[in-house]
Amino acid sequence: MTDLEKLKKICQLVRRDILTATTMAGSGHPTSCFSAVELMVALFFGGPPAGEFFRYDLNHPQSIFNDRIIFSKGHAAPLLYALYHAAGALSDQEILTLRQFNSNLEGHPTPNFKYVDVATGSLGQGLSIGVGMAIGIKKRLDKLQFDDKKISDTSALRLLDKLEKLSGEENLKKTFEREPKVFVLLGDSEVAEGQVWEAMEIASYYRLDNLVAILDVNRLGQRGETMLGWDLDSYAKRSKAFGWEAIIVENGHDLAQISHAYRQATSNQQPANKQPVMIIAKTVKGKGVKLFENKDDWHGKTVPKEKLNRVLEEIGKVDLKIKGKINKLPINFQFSSINLQSNPNRQLNKQNDFTLHVTSYKSHDKIATREAYGDALVELGKINPDLVVLDAETANSTYSKKFRDAYPSRFFEMFIAEQNMVSCALGMSKLGYIPFLSSFAAFLTRAFDQIRIAQYSRPNIKIVGSHAGVSIGADGPTQMGLEDLAMARSVLDSTVFYPSDSISTAKLVQLAAKEPGLFYLRLTREKTPIIYSLTDKFTIGGSKIIFESSNDLATIFTAGITVHEAIKACRQLKEEGVNTAVIDLYSIKPIDKKTINVMAKKTKNIIVVEDHYPYGGLGEAVKSALSEDVVNFIHLCVNKLPRSGSSQDLLRFENINAQAIKTAVKNII
C-alpha cells in the first residue's frame, strides 16, 4: 500500500467517524468537516515519510517541542476528534460520545479535550491565538543553548521538569533545523472578521515563519456563498499584501497537491524571508456525500438516522483497523511529563522580598496609578523572565513603556488592534508566559468577545485598562471607560481590581502576576495622593478600612479615584460632628462580603460611590453582597452622559465628588 493509498483509507475512516458521531449526537457540522478532511489528514499523517508535517508527542501534549494545531473554524470539531481516533488516541467508543454531557468531545473544541490548547468557536480568533503561540515558541527556543551535550536552561525553559542527557549534540541541532510550527485551520467565511487581518499584519511584522494558516475555501457559508466564493487569486493577493507567503492548492481534496504545499510550508527554504505561510485550498463543502455535497442550506445539519447507512455506503468500505501515525520531533533524550500551564509563576511565588520602585515615593507625592503600574512591571520583570507585556500603541499613556525600555525583548507592540492583542496574549500564556496587556479601558470593551472566549481556555492573562471613568476629563466621553467593570465582572472566573493609589496598584499588580487566572485591573489617569504604606497587605477578595469609629452614622464604600473624594468628604463631615466609615473595596470581584455586611449591620446606612455607569459596577456588586434586609442605600455613580471638562468638573457634574458624598451622607442619616 502506498502512502497516498493509506491516506485515502484514513480519509474514509475519518468521514465515517464524522457522519456516525454527528448523526448519533443529532447535531454538528459534518459538511464543514468534510471540506477539510484531506487537508487535515495530509497534515496529521502525510509525507513521505509519514508524519513529516505535523510533529506531536501524544504522551506529552504540552511539550515545548510539539507543533500546535488550532481549529479556528471550531465547528469542525468532529473532524479534529476523528483525526485523533485515526491516530489511536481515542477509542471507538469515545468517538461516539460527541456532544454528550459527560464527554470531553464538545461541540466546539475546548481544553477539556487534552490535545486542545485553547477554546475556539467564535470565528476569527484562532489565528490571533496562533500568533501568540508562534511568538511564544520562538522565544522559548531562542533560550536553548548547547553546553557539553546538554541543554542549559537560561531561565525560559526552567518550566520543563527535567531534561536528560542527549545522545549527541548533532541530533538536537538536526531536530531544530525545523522548529515547531503552529498550524491554524481557517474557514473562508471567518476571514470576513477584521481580527483575522489584525492577526495577519502582526504575524508579518514579527516575521513568524513558524506560523502556517490553512484556508479552507469551500465557498459556502452558513446562509449561502461567501464574499469571494472560490476566487483563490484574490485570497492570495490579499495574503501577500499583508506580508504572507501564499501557496494555492487548486484541488483541496488531492492529497498529492496538499502534501506538496505542506512540504513547501514546512521546509527551511520556504519562505526565504521569514514570512508566515497561508495555504489557500479550493475545497467542496460536504465533499463525498451526494446528499449535501456543494449544496446550500446544509450548514449545521446532520444526516438523519434513517439515511445514515445509505450515506455511509457512498464512502465505500472502510478499513476499521487502519491507523495513522503522528510522529514527534526526533529528539534523542527523555524528559518527564511537561505541563507549561501547571505552575507558570513558580519563581514569583518564591519571592517574599518584592521591592518596589515606589519605595522612593514620598507620602506627600501624587502618583497616577497608571504610572505605578509601569513601575511595578519593571520590578516584577527583574524577578521573573516569563513576564511579558503587550500594549496597543498606548505604552506612553499606560506607562508600560517603562517595561519596554527595561526589557525590550519581552515587550510586544500590538498596535491599535485590541482584539488581536487579547487573543495573542492568550496564545503566549499557553507557552508558560505571564502576559500583561494594556490599553485604555474604553477601548478594551471592543475586545469583550475575545475576553469571553479566553475564559474557556484556562487563561493566565492580566488585562489592564487605564484612563477609566469621567475623571480623565477633557478627552471627552468617547475616551471614558464607563462600562469596563461590568464587562470584567461578567466573566465567570475573573478577578477584578481597582486600586486607588500607587502602592495599592503595585501590590495588586504583583498579586495578579503571582496568581494564575484572568485578571482585570482598572487604572486612573489622574495623579492621586499616596494613602497606603509598603507594609500594607492586599488580598484577593480583601478591602481596606480607611476611616472607622465607634459611632459612625454611615459607611461609604468606594474604590479607585473616588476613594480620595470619600476621604475629603469624611474629614469635612467629621469637622461638622458627623462620623462616617470609609472602605476601599479595591477587590471588586471577589468582593469583601464579610466587611460589607459587618458595616451594614453597624451603621444601617450605606453609600456606594464609583466613577462608572450604574449597571454592573461597584454599586451592584455591593448590593448583591448585602445580606441585611433593612439597609438605607444610596448609589452615587455616573448617571448622565458626560462631556469634556476638567476632572473636577466631571466629578461634580456626575455628583460623585466630595460635596455630593457629604450631601448623600446627610440625606441618608
Query: Is the CB of residue 523 less than 8 Å from the CB of residue 635?
Result: no
Among residues 254, 300, 307, the alpha carbon closest in space to that of 31 is found at 300
Q: What are phi and psi of 520, to 5 degrees?
A: -125, 125
Strand 144-147 and strand 150-153: pairing? antiparallel
Q: Residue 298 is placed in which grid cell?
A: 446544509
Question: What does the alpha-carbon distance between residue 520 and residue 503 come to, in Å, rounded to a whole number?
Answer: 17
Written as one letter, the residue type at 322 is I
Based on DSSP, count helices (H) and strands (E) in the chain, helices before strands: 24, 21
If phi > 0 it is left, if psi is from -120 to 50 it is alpha, else beta; for residue 644 that is: beta
CB proximity list for 21: less than 8 A, separation 6 or greater: 28, 78, 81, 82, 95, 96, 98, 105
Question: 586: which 3 cell numbers?
Answer: 479595591
**Pairing mode, strands 632-636 and 554-558:** unpaired
**Cell for 4?**
497516498
Q: Is the peptide bond before 109 cis (omega within 30 degrees of 0)?
A: no
Closest CA to 180 of 218, 144, 119, 137: 137
Half-sphere exposure of 649 (CA within 13 A, CB side): 10
Residues shown for the chain: 669
Q: Could you tell me which residues are beta bridge partners of residue 497?
A: 521, 587
Determine the distance from the C-alpha atom of residue 426 to the mean position of all C-alpha atoms in its chain, rounded to a whole number: 3
In terms of phi and psi (left: phi > 0; alpha: psi -120 to 50; beta: otherwise), the region of 188 is alpha
Omega before 271 cis (within 30°)?
yes
Vertex 437: Cα angle to 431 and 440 (nearest 5): 165
At a CB cut-off of 8 Å and minimum separation 6, what does 44 contact? 51, 53, 54, 83, 86, 87, 324, 326
d(CA 481, CA 459): 24
Task: Please state, in angstroms and rounded to a whole number, the distance separating the CA atoms of residues 420 and 128.
Answer: 5
Among the options 106, 190, 193, 418, which is catalytic? 418
Q: CB neighbours of 32 closer than 8 A, spacing ≥ 6?
A: 73, 75, 76, 187, 218, 285, 299
Q: Which helix (H) or strand (E) holds 137?
A: helix 126-142
Active site residue 413: no
Active site residues: 418
